[in-house]
Amino acid sequence: MYPPSKLVRDLLKGGNDAELCIKTGQTDMLKHMYKTGYYQLRYKPSFNICNRNRYIIRDASMWNDYISLLSYFHKDLHNAKYVCPKNLKAEHDRLLRKKNEIEARQRRERDRIKAIQKEKQLKEDIASFYNRMERFFGMEIKGDGIVIRPLESVTQFYKEGKAMHHCVYANRYYRRSECLIMTAIVGEKHVETIEVNLKSFQIVQSRAVCNGTSEYHDRIIQLVEKNMNLIKKTYCMNIYHTEPRFDCEKFAPCGRISLHKCRKYKGRLDECRGCTLVHRKAKTVAGTEAGRKVCPHCGRSLPLHRFYNRTVRCGDKEYRCLTSWCKMCMSEVAAERNRNN
């Protein structure tokens, strides 16, 4: 029940919604206002339409929800046809079902788009992982009854994470370009998962079931450290060659040419045309319009006569060209320099 003292104070003030509800006989709306603690009508214009049509609101809570649903469907809240329904519960339930169906369709569409994006991302991850780690495929480190092999597919990451109960798949270690993930096997049992950093060539971690350590932990660490040179040679090996190349320390992402050659020619080689593994910024060319040139200082496109002529000597040859900045910019800079001196 609403507090009488609060109601009396509101009535003495006059000109408020409580007084309006009492005068129009909308007692259920008055109770609802004071129960919810608003003390004001949420949909006063629609409420006034009800009063003009002598429509008594029997269930104020449901009527407010019904008006909210009308607003969701962009209905006219000043039309008595909508705000004064003959059967409030039936209209409320009808609109609620319609809204639930719309939201269900929207959820299904969002889930469908999300599944497509997830599948696309997974395909990109698989292709990227294969390009980076192909050189390690088939590598084995054996010793003391332990066999250590790299994980060679995203599926193997999933199976490893599920069998060992750790986050090698959940945290997407197959996306990390700087780490090599290997599994240690004794007999037919996977005992530990090893992470090696390919920049420092150090063992980052070696985890058994549930991120613990196994009885073979120390022997696995010693075996990997003993064969770290093999990992280095394999990492430096071009994937298109069967044997490691020691004349090149680093290769381009494609693995075909050296990193130095990739940076030097910047995609101008025939074998590099259409390469999408290296993202290069497009070269900006100033002043592509005929008879005009862009001043890099002020950024304006100006006619050629707005630039000074200059002569550049290279050995025995002379080249006539235009200044980079326009005459106005060069004059302003010269004037500023003279003022400072």
Q: How far apart are CA 150 and CA 213, in angstroms?
A: 19
Q: How far apart are CA 179 and CA 190, in angstroms?
A: 20
Which of the two residues, 247 and 29, has the higher pLDDT score? Answer: 29
Q: Which amino acid is at 66?
A: Y
Give the pLDDT confidence score for residue 10 in this predicted structure. 64
Q: Kindly indicate the confidence band of residue 8, based on its pLDDT and cuts at 50, 70 and 90.
A: low
pLDDT digits (tens, 9 = 90+) for 104-146: 999 999 999 999 999 998 888 888 888 888 888 888 999 888 9
Give the pLDDT confidence score for residue 3 in this predicted structure. 62
Element (H, E) at 303: strand 301-303
Q: How far apart are CA 216 and CA 247, in angstroms?
A: 37
Mapped to the 3 state alphabet, what secondary structure does 100-155 carry? Answer: HHHHHHHHHHHHHHHHHHHHHHHHHHHHHHHHHHHHHCCCCEEECCEEEEECCCHH
Q: Kindly indicate the confidence band of residue 77, based on its pLDDT and cuts at 50, 70 and 90.
A: very high
Question: Has residue 263 got a pLDDT over 80?
Answer: no
Give the pLDDT confidence score for residue 21 in this predicted structure. 84
Q: Which residues contact 212 (CB under 8 A, 6 or more apart)?
A: none
Q: Kindly indicate the confidence band of residue 183, based on its pLDDT and cuts at 50, 70 and 90.
A: very high
* Unique residue bearing structure tokens 């002529």: 309
| Mean pLDDT for the chain overall | 83
The separation between the first and the last C-alpha atoms of the chain, rounded to the nearest angstrom, is: 85
Give the pLDDT confidence score for residue 280 in this predicted structure. 60
Give the pLDDT confidence score for residue 164 in this predicted structure. 92
Q: Which amino acid is at 191?
A: V
Question: Has residue 12 got a pLDDT over 80?
Answer: no
Q: Which residues contact 315 (CB under 8 A, 6 or more apart)?
A: none
Give the pLDDT confidence score for residue 180 in this predicted structure. 93
pLDDT digits (tens, 9 = 90+) for 228-243: 888 888 877 654 444 4
Question: If you average pLDDT over residues 19-37, what whole number do you get?
Answer: 82
CB-CB contact of 147 with 194 (8 Å) = no
Q: How far apart are CA 87 and CA 70, in angstroms?
A: 15
Give the pLDDT confidence score for residue 129 in this predicted structure. 87
Q: In this prediction, what percent of the chain has a pLDDT beyond 70? A: 84
Q: Kindly indicate the confidence band of residue 75, based on its pLDDT and cuts at 50, 70 and 90.
A: very high
Domain boundaries along the sequence of the chain? 4-86, 292-340
CB-CB contact of 275 with 309 (8 Å) = no
* Dihedral class, residue 54 (left if φ above 0, else alpha if ψ from -120 to 50, else beta): left
Helix (H, G, I), strand (E, B) or coil at 213: coil
Give the pLDDT confidence score for residue 6 in this predicted structure. 65
Q: How far apart are CA 241 and CA 339, in angstroms?
A: 66
Give the pLDDT confidence score for residue 244 in this predicted structure. 45
pLDDT digits (tens, 9 = 90+) for 294-339: 888 888 888 888 999 988 887 788 888 888 899 989 988 888 888 8
pLDDT digits (tens, 9 = 90+) for 155-164: 999 999 999 9
